[in-house]
């Protein structure tokens, strides 16, 4: 039978409430930046004059 690591459980209980919101914020910011890049690329492809 494996021994339960109480120290690791305590660390997860302390740091999880800090890590989870940071990950959610980072993910939201990263998603917003990627969407802005896609919008700008689409904008420039629609607005830029076509060269023939």
Per-residue 3-state assignment (H helix, E strand, C coil) for the chain: CCCCCHHHHHHHHHHHHHHHHHHHHHHHHHHHHHHHHHHHHHHHHHHCCCCC
The pTM for the full model equals: 0.65
pLDDT of res. 49: 78
Burial class (CB in 10 A: 0-12, 13-18, 19+), 27: exposed
At 1-52, the pLDDT tens digits run 778 889 999 999 999 999 999 999 999 999 999 999 999 999 999 988 776 6
| The pair of three-digit structure tokens given for residue 8, joined into one six-digit string | 């690791």
């Amino acid at each position: 039978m494996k021994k339960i690591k109480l120290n690791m459980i305590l660390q997860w209980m302390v740091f999880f409430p800090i890590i989870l919101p940071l990950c959610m914020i980072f993910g939201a910011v990263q998603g917003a930046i990627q969407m802005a890049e896609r919008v700008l690329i689409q904008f420039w492809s629609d607005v830029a004059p076509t060269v023939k």
